[in-house]
Amino acid sequence: MNQYDLTDDQRAIQDMARRFTADAITPHAAEWDEKHLFPRETVKAAAELGFGGIYVSEASGGIGLGRLEAALIMEAMAYGCPSTSAFISIHNMAAWMVDRYGDEGVKEKYLSPILSADLLASYCLTEAGAGSDAASLKTKAVRDGDHYIVTGSKQFISGGGENDLYVTMVRTSDDGARGISCLVIEKDMEGVSFGAQERKLGWHSQPTAQVNFDGVRVPVSNRLGAEGEGFRIAMAGLDGGRLNIGACSLGGAQRCLDEAVRYTKDRRQFGKAIADFQNTQFTLADMETELQAARMLLYAAAVKVTEGTPDKTRFAAMAKRFATDTGSAVADRALQLHGGYGYLMDYPVERIWRDLRVHSILEGTNQVMRMIIGREMVRE
């Protein structure tokens, strides 16, 4: 696999994540998927390596890495299980929001147990009527002294019902995007409840459920940032989230490609290995070329997001769109190269094919990514 222009430290981080994946994720991923098991202890073990606070500052107890290093970690873990890697990415987004926007009281209360994964955190933005149009969300928070009274519900929440904390975007005024604030809400607060676990095509190793708030009293001290700053906080988290989901697609697709090479070298038809047929080699060549191109774009975008360049959002959108579409296409061709066996759960390409499909939908659909890219291209 091409190493891009990685430093020795970045390669060491990548190697550590790969070793962890080989030991703790890959051998168990098929069982997690088949039995819909949430590997909480594995997530906690990842946190012991610092993977619960990848870009949380060292001063706050995180490992203070950049977005490229985070992408390397997510890509490595997704090689074993894209679903579990994506879950850890979401936990990291919540951790970063608490570190970046929380005051000392909130950080002292929550950050250390988030980083150790003693408390797992979800990110709650999407609603039944507000997906990519985040500014139209309706979950309300009405100020009542030193508390907010929160009423509403959030849809498609990773960790819903299992996780302990919900970093939630709420409406504190009717002023469109400027009327949104961000609150940390605990699972055990009175009035918090959860819908049934969603039955999903993939991502079986992580729970997904609706989160409901029925007059939940949340201390004002649990707010991240100022009142009305929630939309900006949500958007700030999306660049990194998009990179991580793209990286999860790269890792899953790389696994599919490696499995396809191995299978086609072993499988014989018409007296020779199917890897010896020119058609097979051309297909593998296209898969490798497209995957490397997506990897280069994603790594470059990650550097831009870390450095805060003016075009970081456009590059994050391009990388997310390209990496997730490419990842799904590579997985699909890997399944095809396996023939009928690729359709069986005995082979990992079937599971990864299912897991990667949602990546072009979440963190902003790939159609929305095109809107972001195109809008910036024609903006004067």
Catalytically active residues are 363
Per DSSP, 207 falls in state -
Beta strands at 192-194 and 147-158: parallel, antiparallel or unpaired: unpaired
Closest CA to 252 of 339, 326, 193: 326
Give residues with Cβ within 8 angstroms of 66, minimum separation 6.
55, 302, 303, 306
Is the Cβ–Cβ distance between 165 and 152 less than 8 Å? Answer: no
Question: Using CA atoms, how far apart are residues 262 and 267, in angstroms rounded to an integer?
Answer: 9
Q: Which residues of 249-282 are buried (b: 16+ CB within 10 A; e: fewer)?
A: bbbbbbbbbebbbebbeeeeeeeeebbeeeebee
Closest CA to 354 of 229, 250, 207, 201: 201
Which residues are paired to 323 by β-bridges? Answer: none
Give residues with Cβ within 8 angstroms of 109, minimum separation 6.
none
